Amino acid sequence: MKYQILPLLILLSQIAYSQHTLSGKITDTGTGETLVGATIYNPGAKQGTSSNDYGFFSLKLPGGKQQVVFSFVGYEPQTIFIDLKTDSILNIGLSSDNVLSEVTVTESRRQYFLSGVQMGENRLTAREIENLPVVLGETDVLKAIQSLPGVNAGNDGTAGISVRGGSPDQTLILLDEVPVYNVNHLFGYFSVFNNDAIKEANLIKGTIPAQYGGRLSSVLDIRMKEGNLHEHTGKASLSTLSGKYTIEGPIIKGKASYMLSGRATWLDLPLRLYFYLTDNDMKVYYSFWDLNGKANFELSNSDRLFVSFYGGNDEFFVGNEDDNYFAGNSSTKYQFSWGNYTASARWNHIFSSKLFSNLTAYFSSYNYSHLYEMKSTSDTLNIDTYSSLADASLKYDFDYYPDNAHKIKFGTKLSYLFFQPEKTDLDTVQAGLSSHYQAPVVDLYVNDEFLLGEKLRVSAGLRLSSLKRGEKYEFHLMPRFSACYPLSPSLSLKAGYSIMVQHLHQLTNPSLSLPTTMWVLSNASLESSSSNLSSIGLYYLNDKGLELSGEAYFNTMDKVIDYKPGKENFKINENQWGESVMVGEGFSYGIELFAKYRLGSYFGQLSYTYSRSYRKYDELAHVGYYPYMYDRPHNISLQITKEFETSQNAKFNKRLTLNFNYMSGHLISFSNYTIPAILPDEFEGYKHHISDFNYYIPHPNNVRLPAVHHLDLSFHLENKKKEKSSWVFSIYNIYNRKNISFYYVQNEQVKGAALLPIIPSVTWNYKF
């Protein structure tokens, strides 16, 4: 008898312990857009996972009847009961229509904030970005990013970002996985990212996972909307600065969709009107535009194709368009333009319930040119200076889920970079040799996120990057490590360490972030930059939704580059950029504190950052370490939003947002100290008008400008009906603080230009 029971027991135990994989995609029920980072949780087995960048998930569950909870921030959680007998596919839609207004700490939030190993990560949705008060009515993702801890603006009001005291080029900015090399419109006051085309933005400034590479300090991963799979919708926006128009909808209902969004400024209209009315010989025009497009096609249950592109350009013109300037004898014009173009095709393929892949081919280019033309009755001089960069890449990424304990990512990337740092053509004078560079970069990576013991979650990765420098291939190994240990149900300790390598460098004018910045690639004489980042943090989230975090970091950098002191921009014959740069080392450290809380109809978030950043170069050996231009010790950011209760018959939902920012002042280089000069003996006895003393600046960035701070307000009137207009009223810099955007020195006096006084603005949106 006992021999008959044994097989039955074995069978029962197999059933009891048999495990099956539940996989699928999580989408928004309204639009069909995939949800990134949504949580899938099985309360019975206390096991969970999250959806990847394409909404795909894979979770191993015990066989039999199981409860699975799907949740995502801002969406109503869904609980599903499933009888698992084999590996199954389950595609789930979550709805954001009926989100409870009271505080609910979802499992998704807990998983992401307390249990996730990733440090220094902040995810912003398009709606969160829209919430913030804006300048000239223009919502901007990069300005929203500036409200996060550890992120500073370049100059007041500009969209450039410095993360943890690093230069803007140390942040890898991706738009649908394609690097964008210039993010500035209007001389840096607005970014190239049209918020109406954006789904979300994710900033990673801690230990950067192994799937990312190429920059030293952070990654900003911006995703475009995929397009509504179910119905045709659109949005038109008019702001003080620009007009935007976005349409999206199904190509094949439920299977394929498109999104197209365009933006153009009308800043040149008042300028043209002014010059027309004043009959001025001189003309000044400025314009910018950008266009985002995306389409996706579900080819089968396992295959999906995404095609996306971005194009944008700025153009500035001064001079006269005919030849009558300067009393008919000559004319002068100056034309300055810059822009980016990106295109990508991505193919998602699900090999099995455990293996997901994404193949991406992309092209990204950036170029700027300035043309100076002077015509006289006898001759013409054209000086055309331009710089360009093109990046053609192919990458293949895999997500492999062997079991619930491991989440493995691996892949490869092959890039071919073509660039021309700066070339000047003169039509009558040979200005020197042009410099073209091209180099292949090959990257391989693997990363495993796993549980060590019962509580310690670890992410360990390795990235290998190879660059051809001169005639030799150079290899860089970049280990990445991060860990998360829950100290209590509401408190976690996280730590991380990473080595990053950067082959591309951007050379920038320290005074103003004009788009004359040029990208240069490590070559035979210039090594790639590297950094060693260590960080540690505490994270707290209670049942009432109070979210607190504190992170500390220390980062050392080697082979960082900068312009040599005194090097001028706009040089006529600067094609040997290698002679203009110096190579050195640096370090930065800081503490970042962040709090977030919702109390009834109020929602607030507060961040404080203390950070320092230093550089040292052989060319300034007598100085030693000195503060880097992005060293801004204190940064405070506060946002409070009040959602007004409205009656059912009311036409609009009303929302008021208050924003306050404080940043330590920008560092500048200035001195009125002098030292005696020395000239060869022959100069004795001759009038030479060369001074016998010199002003000297002890070291770059020796003086700090006054702190930058402003209080802004925005009021949203959001129409409750889907196809109606909405309004946003904003006031930037309410108390009219004269924050300095850029500085210069005149007659031994530092002067600052405060370009953003109190600016009221209004934006009208129409959704259809």
Q: Which two tokens stand for residue 225?
A: 């909307």
Give the footprint of another protein on residues 304-323 (CB under 8 A): 316, 318-319
* Contacting another protein within 212-241 (CB under 8 A): none
Which sign does the torsion angle of CA 662, 665, 666, 667 carry?
negative
Q: Would you say 83 or 682 has its CB closer to another protein?
A: 682
Nearest distance in Å: CB 626, another protein = 12
Q: Which span (297-305, 338-346, 444-452, 566-574) binds another protein, by CB under 8 A?
A: 566-574
Shortest separation between residue 156's beta carbon and another protein, angstroms: 11
Determine which residue in the list 567, 612, 616, 724 makes contact with another protein, applying CB under 8 A.
567
Tokens at 494, concatenated: 């996280």
For the bound state, the minimum distance from the C-beta of residue 160 to another protein, rounded and expressed in Å, comes to 16
Provide, rounded to whole angstroms, the least separation between the CB of residue 666 and another protein.
Answer: 10
- CB 733, CB 760: distance < 8 Å: no
CB of 146 to another protein, least distance (A): 21
User: Residue 142, SS3?
Assistant: helix
142 or 512: CB nearest another protein: 512
Shortest Cβ 586–another protein spacing (Å): 18
- Cβ contact 366:339 at 8 Å: yes
Cβ at position 630, least distance to another protein in Å: 16
Applying CB under 8 A, does 84 fall inside the site for another protein? no
Q: How far is the CB of 278 from another protein (least distance, A)?
A: 11
Given the complex with another protein, which of 334 and 363 has the nearer CB atom?
334
Q: Which residues contact 120 (CB under 8 A, 6 or more apart)?
A: 150, 204, 205, 206, 207, 218, 535, 537, 551, 553, 592
Q: Is 637 exposed, middle or buried (0-12, 13-18, 19+ CB in 10 A)?
A: buried
Site for another protein in 675-714 (CB under 8 A): 675-683, 685-698, 700, 702-703, 705-706
Binding part of the chain for another protein, among 167-175, 265-273, 436-444, 641-649 by CB under 8 A, reads 265-273
- Yes or no: say if 118 and 577 are a contact pair by the CB < 8 Å rule: no
Tell me the β-bridge partners of 252: 256
Nearer Cβ to another protein (262/510): 510
Q: Is 276 in the site for another protein (CB under 8 A)?
A: no
Q: Which two tokens stand for residue 621?
A: 């050996």
Rounded to whole angstroms, how far apart are CA atoms 140 and 161? 12
Q: Considering the complex, what minimum distance in angstroms separates the CB of residue 504 from another protein?
A: 23
* Residue 757 contacts another protein per CB under 8 A: yes
CA dist 66 and 131 (Å) reads 39
Alpha carbon dihedral 415, 419, 421, 422, in 10-degree steps, equals -160
**Using rule CB under 8 A, residue 572 touches another protein:** yes
The binder of another protein chosen from 9, 253, 274, 601 (CB under 8 A): 274
SS3 string, 580-648, reads HEEEEEEEEEEEEEEEEEEECCEEEEEEEEEEEEEEEEHHHCCCCCEECCCCCCEEEEEEEEEEECCCC
Q: Which is nearer to another protein, 7 or 566 (CB)?
A: 566
Q: Which is nearer to another protein, 369 or 509 (CB)?
A: 509
Q: Which range touches another protein (CB under 8 A), out of 37-45, 73-81, 291-299, 559-567? A: 559-567
Separation between Cα atoms, residue 303 and residue 53, nearest integer Å: 15
In the range 639-678, which residues lie near another protein by CB under 8 A? 668-678
Q: For another protein, which residue of 21, 115, 569, 607 counts as binding (CB under 8 A)? A: 569
Burial of 1 (0-12, 13-18, 19+ CB in 10 A): exposed
Question: Nearest approach, Cβ of 284 to another protein (angstroms)?
Answer: 5
# residues near another protein by CB under 8 A: 94
- Binding residue for another protein (CB under 8 A) from 284, 595, 731, 762? 284
CB of 270 to another protein, least distance (A): 8
Contacting another protein (CB under 8 A), which of 752, 761, 763, 765? 752
- Eight-class DSSP state of 187: G
Closest separation in Å from C-beta 322 to another protein: 16
Pair 627, 612: CB distance under 8 Å: yes
Quote the Cα angle for 706-588-710, to 5°.
Answer: 30
Please name which of 439, 420, 557, 438 lies closest in space to residue 502, comparing C-alpha atoms.
557
Task: Please name the residues in contact with 78: beta carbons below 8 A apart, sequence gap of 6 or more.
Answer: 69, 70, 71, 92, 94
Decide whether 438 or 576 has the Cβ nearer to another protein.
Answer: 576
Using an 8 Å Cβ cutoff, are 361 and 344 in contact?
A: yes
CA torsion sign, 164 to 169 to 170 to 175?
Answer: positive
Token code pair at residue 270: 């008042």
Binding mask 586-625 for another protein (x = CB under 8 A): -----------------------------------xx---
Binding mask 407-426 for another protein (x = CB under 8 A): -------------------x
Report the residue from 63, 64, 74, 432 that binds another protein according to the rule CB under 8 A.
432
Nearer to another protein, 291 or 426 (CB): 426
Which CB, 597 or 662, lies closer to another protein?
662
Per CB under 8 A, the list member of 300, 430, 488, 648 interacting with another protein is 430
DSSP 5: H
Please report how close the Cβ of residue 584 comes to another protein at its closest, in angstroms. 15
Query: Which is nearer to another protein, 454 or 579 (by Cβ)?
Result: 579
Q: How far is the C-alpha of 437 from the C-alpha of 439, rounded, in Å?
A: 7
CB-based contact 483:493 (threshold 8 Å): no
Nearer to another protein, 475 or 744 (CB): 744
Chosen residue from 73, 173, 533, 740 binding another protein by CB under 8 A: 740
Q: What is the DSSP string of 58-127?
A: EEEEESEEEEEEEE-TTSB-EEEEEEESS-EE--EEEB-TT--SS----HHHHIIIII----SEEEEEHH
Q: Which is nearer to another protein, 62 or 432 (CB)?
A: 432
User: Between residue 319 and residue 378, which ones bind another protein under the rule CB under 8 A?
Assistant: 319, 332, 334, 370, 372, 374, 376, 378
Six-digit token pair at 299?
A: 């080819």
By CB under 8 A, residue 576 contacts another protein: yes
Closest CB to another protein among 188 and 206?
A: 188
CB-based contact 626:614 (threshold 8 Å): yes
Residue among 69, 355, 755, 762 that touches another protein (CB under 8 A): 755
User: Quick one: 325 or 519, whose CB is closer to another protein?
Assistant: 325
CB of 703 to another protein, least distance (A): 5
Site for another protein in 445-464 (CB under 8 A): none
